[in-house]
Amino acid sequence: MHNTELYQKKLPDKLYFKIGEVGEIAGIPTYVLRFWESEFTKIKPKRTSSGQRVYNKNDVELILEIKHLLYDKKYTIQGAKQHIKSRLPEEKEIPSTDLLNDIRLQLMKIRDILS
């Protein structure tokens, strides 16, 4: 079983997580998350209109993997970066219209559930 499959089982069924929730899930302080965000460019939390970070499930899974590499496997930050880079394909920037369409579809699903 791949590490991210293990992590998925622990994650609540939510689309987005606030930084405090991610810190609690990963068992690390929020300042460590902010530092990792500056070191690992693949961690890309969105920002709310008030400037709060919100992480999606992929971000949280990546954070859990980084923690595993650094804390359990004793990788250096540079080693963890290389490990992740070698295993993850380069992500293409999602055009904002695609993102908005995805959000609209999710909101329609929620509306249908509530109706």
More confident site: 94 or 105: 105
The predicted model gives 18-44 an average pLDDT of 95
Over 70: is that where the pLDDT of 114 sits? yes
More confident site: 62 or 89: 62
Distance of alpha carbon 66 from the chain centroid: 11
Which of 23-37, 75-89, 96-110 shows the lowest per-residue confidence on average (mean pLDDT)?
96-110
Residues 3-114, CATH architecture: Orthogonal Bundle (1.10)
More confident site: 107 or 67: 67
Q: What is the pLDDT of residues 39-87, one digit of tens each?
A: 999 999 998 889 899 999 989 999 999 999 999 999 999 999 999 988 7
